[in-house]
């Protein structure tokens, strides 16, 4: 059982490591929605009903080997900043930040799997993998859901598959998403063309924080919205296929930029490095943009000694609730900007020996 501040002090394992396509893809995630047979869905349940359901689900998860040693947080017991921390960490959704009664989250020891209890559906399982590996995330999620399937009866119909509170999730209850970094397409102004192409294919494209968030630092989440009529493997394979096309476009864009305007790109990257290593106040949005530029610099080999793992971890840890959980106190925006700038300076000066300018 981990504490939140222990969690905040270590990098999210699914953001680090020699992951496939890591110069463009940060992580892959799969979510499966399940509900218990014979119960009303969360949004119509009262507090008592939701607590009983939570207890029932927790009892069942007790015998799931993949959740052995998992950490449990019940939402009623957390401060809002702590819930926001879990949101920033991608372990819970906005729903659980706002609605706390009878809600909980379980997080596996290696943070590779999680289970939200009484979100829009009774169970929302998540599995993470670093880099472009939605198939690996699906395999993990499928194994976990199979363990739970032995312990409880999920609402299922032969015709419609797994029954969910919202008909947009019915069938597989699967949402696979891939977090990508597309600065090349943003700088060449081709990004809207590519994203609209994805939307026409029924994919949802969102910013780093998911639903309703704008894109900061050229980070986008691509996910499926069709959940019925195709198998889990088909949905993930399709997403993988289309993401590979986006990756190819991004590689082309970077090559064109580097060929046509190397000085402009170098300048952009070094300016970002300058501000990040010397600034005294950093707002989240600015930090995201600058770290995004730096990430581009790493992939174009403008730096050595810095890698994607360090930058991905920074992107996670500079968020407001992360800073406050690490500090162990609430901070006003000005204090957060100062703490953020200090933290970024410390990490970057430690790990970024500069390459001589050509």
Partner 1 sequence: MSCDSCGGDNATLQYTEVMGASKKVQWFCQGCAEARGLLAWQAEAASAQEDAASGVLGTIVVEQTSTIRLAPGRRCDACGMRLSDLRNTGRVGCPQCYETFREHLEPLLRRVHGATEHRGHGPGAAQDREHVQHELARLRRELLDAVRREDYEQAARVRDEIARRETELAQGGAKRP
**213-252 positions binding partner 1, by CB under 8 A:** 225-234
Choose which of 58, 81, 101, 147 interacts with partner 1 (CB under 8 A).
Answer: 147
Axis-axis angle for helices 232-260, 134-149 (nearest 10): 160
> Minimum Å distance from CB 32 to partner 1?
9
Choose which of 150, 189, 263, 334 interacts with partner 1 (CB under 8 A).
Answer: 150
Nearer to partner 1, 165 or 247 (CB): 165
Residue 58 CB coordination number (10 Å): 16
Residue 308 CB coordination number (10 Å): 23
26-54: b (≥16 Cβ within 10 Å) or e:
bbbbbbbbbbbeebebbeebeeeebbebb
Query: Rounded to an integer, what is the distance from CA 268 to the centroid of its chain?
Result: 26
Indicate whether 44 belongs to the interface with partner 1 (CB under 8 A).
yes
Give the residue among 147, 106, 146 at the shortest CA–CA distance from 124.
106
Nearer to partner 1, 173 or 184 (CB): 173
Nearer to partner 1, 158 or 332 (CB): 158
Indicate whether 157 belongs to the interface with partner 1 (CB under 8 A).
yes
Choose which of 65, 77, 158, 301 interacts with partner 1 (CB under 8 A).
Answer: 158
Choose which of 58, 81, 94, 170 interacts with partner 1 (CB under 8 A).
Answer: 170
Choose which of 26, 28, 29, 35 interacts with partner 1 (CB under 8 A).
Answer: 35
Interaction mask 106-125, partner 1, x per CB under 8 A: --------------x-----
Choose which of 25, 107, 174, 187 interacts with partner 1 (CB under 8 A).
Answer: 174
> Minimum Å distance from CB 114 to partner 1?
19
Choose which of 65, 77, 153, 357 interacts with partner 1 (CB under 8 A).
Answer: 153
- Residue given tokens 């501040």 in the structure block: 5
- The encoded tokens of residue 98 equal 């706002």
Nearer to partner 1, 222 or 257 (CB): 222
Contact predicate 179/221, CB 8 Å: yes
For the chain, where are the alpha helices, taking DSSP H only?
Answer: 4-9, 47-61, 80-88, 94-98, 134-149, 183-187, 191-200, 232-260, 262-278, 284-299, 308-317, 320-327, 333-351
Indicate whether 149 belongs to the interface with partner 1 (CB under 8 A).
yes
> Minimum Å distance from CB 173 to partner 1?
9
Indicate whether 303 belongs to the interface with partner 1 (CB under 8 A).
no
DSSP codes, 223-273: EE---SSS-HHHHHHHHHHHHHHHHHHHHHHHHHHHHH-HHHHHHHHHHHH
Phi, then psi, of 68 in degrees rounded to 5? -60, 130
Contact predicate 323/89, CB 8 Å: no
> Minimum Å distance from CB 273 to partner 1?
35
Indicate whether 43 belongs to the interface with partner 1 (CB under 8 A).
yes
Nearer to partner 1, 6 or 233 (CB): 233
Q: Which residues bind partner 1 (CB under 8 A)?
A: 35, 37-41, 43-44, 120, 142, 145-147, 149-150, 153-163, 165-168, 170-172, 174, 199, 202, 204-206, 211-212, 225-234
């Amino acid at each position: 059982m981990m504490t939140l501040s222990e969690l905040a002090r270590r990098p999210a394992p699914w953001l680090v490591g020699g992951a496939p396509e890591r110069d463009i893809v940060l992580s892959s995630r799969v979510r499966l929605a399940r509900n218990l047979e014979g119960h009303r869905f969360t949004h119509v349940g009262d507090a008592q009903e939701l607590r009983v359901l939570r207890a029932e689900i927790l009892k069942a998860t007790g015998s799931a080997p993949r959740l052995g040693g998992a950490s449990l947080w019940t939402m009623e017991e957390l401060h809002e900043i702590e819930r926001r921390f879990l949101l920033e960490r991608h372990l819970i959704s906005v729903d659980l930040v706002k609605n706390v009664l009878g809600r909980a989250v379980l997080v596996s020891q290696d943070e590779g799997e999680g289970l939200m209890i009484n979100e829009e559906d009774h169970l929302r399982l998540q599995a993470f993998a670093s880099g472009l590996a939605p198939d690996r995330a699906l395999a993990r999620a499928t194994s976990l859901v199979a363990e739970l399937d032995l312990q409880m009866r999920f609402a299922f119909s032969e015709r419609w598959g797994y029954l969910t509170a919202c008909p947009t999730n019915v069938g597989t209850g699967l949402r696979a998403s891939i977090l990508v970094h597309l600065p090349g397409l943003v700088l060449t102004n081709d990004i809207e063309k590519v994203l609209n192409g994805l939307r026409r294919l029924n994919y949802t494209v969102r910013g780093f924080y998911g639903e309703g968030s704008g894109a900061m630092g050229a980070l986008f989440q691509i996910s499926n919205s069709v959940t019925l009529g195709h198998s889990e493997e088909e949905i993930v394979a399709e997403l993988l296929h289309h993401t590979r096309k986006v990756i190819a476009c991004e590689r082309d864009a970077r090559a064109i930029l580097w060929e046509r305007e190397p000085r402009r790109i170098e300048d952009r990257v070094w300016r970002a490095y300058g501000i990040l290593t010397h600034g005294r106040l950093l707002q989240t949005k600015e930090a995201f943009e600058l770290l995004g530029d730096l990430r581009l610099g790493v992939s174009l080999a403008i730096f050595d000694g810095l890698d994607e793992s360090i930058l991905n971890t920074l992107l996670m840890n500079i968020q407001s609730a992360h800073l406050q959980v690490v500090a162990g106190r609430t901070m006003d925006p000005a204090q957060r900007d100062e703490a953020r700038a200090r933290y970024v300076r410390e990490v970057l000066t430690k790990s970024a020996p500069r390459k001589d300018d050509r």
